[in-house]
Amino acid sequence: MPLLSLLQAQQSFFLYRPKPWFKFPRTPFLCSSRMSSNSNSLQNYPTPLSPPLPAISKDIELARAMTASSKSSLFGLSRSDVLYEDEWLIAVNKPKGIYCDAVLASVPRFLSDSPESDRLCEENQSSALELHLANRLDRDTSGVMVITKSHKVASMLVKAFTNHTVQKTYVAFCIGSAPQSERITIKSGHGRSKFGAWRVYSAGDVGRKLPGGSVVRDMETTFEVLSINGQRSHKEPSECMKDEENCVVVEEKAVTDVDAKKDEILVRAFPRSGRTHQIRLHCQYLGFSIRGDVKYEGVYEWKGTIYDAHELHAESLSFQHPITGFPLMIQAPLPSWASQALQLLTN
């Protein structure tokens, strides 16, 4: 190519080269100002008052999760698991070590194989079931789980849970320092720390922002002590309501005496709110973590026995039926560890 043509081509290239669409900021110090602001906001997050996850929990929890995944993939709901059923609801006794979603996934197959379910739904054969979990339980928590059969019933029942009109009872076997009162109500904050773990926060921090954009929410649980080291006769919940109770409003970190005598404590819990890991967190804060609950300082080995799950059971749910309006109480049979502990009290 002649030199003149080459120069013209280069000139043409530079004349039509597109200009960059972005511009560099003229005031670079604004960037450092924002970083400083973010740094200050990090320092203003509320401080969790319960301990971080123990190092031992990481490997144990991973192993438990893998085992639960295998069991859940094979899980099938049986008639003996069903506690209550009508054309709007089905309540089941979830086994420990099974994920809630696996139970939900097994319901259609169970309903299709059940003559009784066919009878209940014969008027709605043309419409597909719209199954929803009305409540969720932790992987290793057993007990009452309610599944609704339509969007309408699901929204009504979820509203009942949100408004705290559903009464819940749990039973837990704990190891730690025995409380002085037979009845304790604890009020605190609840939220995720900057590391993503659920923690107890001060009751005064409710409403404050947390890392990740969430806020500290209120959390309240009442505990009834059923037995300590196999002694002390338990009362029915209605009788225990009449007793004086000790109210703990969380404002500072719990002080735990690691050298204190470890007692075996059977408790019944009445959670008012429904926060994730609520009972487990409150047991930890009060100094009697649930046996086997390694995530919240529960013992992994006790008296020569290794525990592959925490001992927490959703005992009952009481609520007004979302369609009929009648009061409904659904109760699950106690697991062996709870029934054996209560049996000792009657001997």
Closest CA to 279 of 200, 215, 207: 200
**Rounded Cα distance, 300 and 311, in Å:** 11
Coil/strand/helix, residue 341 = helix
Which tokens belong to 148?
């609704």
Residue 284 CA from chain centroid, whole number: 14
Which residue out of 81, 138, 140, 205 is catalytically annotated?
138
Closest CA to 145 of 114, 112, 99, 111: 99
Which tokens belong to 276?
């994730």
List, in order, residues 6 or more apart from 247 with CB less than 8 Å away: 184, 185, 186, 187
Cα distance between the two ends of the chain: 109
**Rounded Cα distance, 327 and 56, in Å:** 44
List, in order, residues 6 or more apart from 89 with CB less than 8 Å away: 134, 146, 147, 148, 149, 153, 157, 321
Closest CA to 145 of 64, 223, 82, 80: 82
Residue pair 225/267 in contact by the 8 Å Cβ criterion: yes
Tell me, yes or no, if 138 is annotated catalytic. Answer: yes
Residue pair 243/208 in contact by the 8 Å Cβ criterion: no
> What number of CA atoms fall less than 13 Å from residue 91's CA on the CB side?
20
**Rounded Cα distance, 176 and 197, in Å:** 22
**258-291-239-165 Cα dihedral, nearest 10 degrees:** 110
Q: Which residues are catalytic?
A: 138
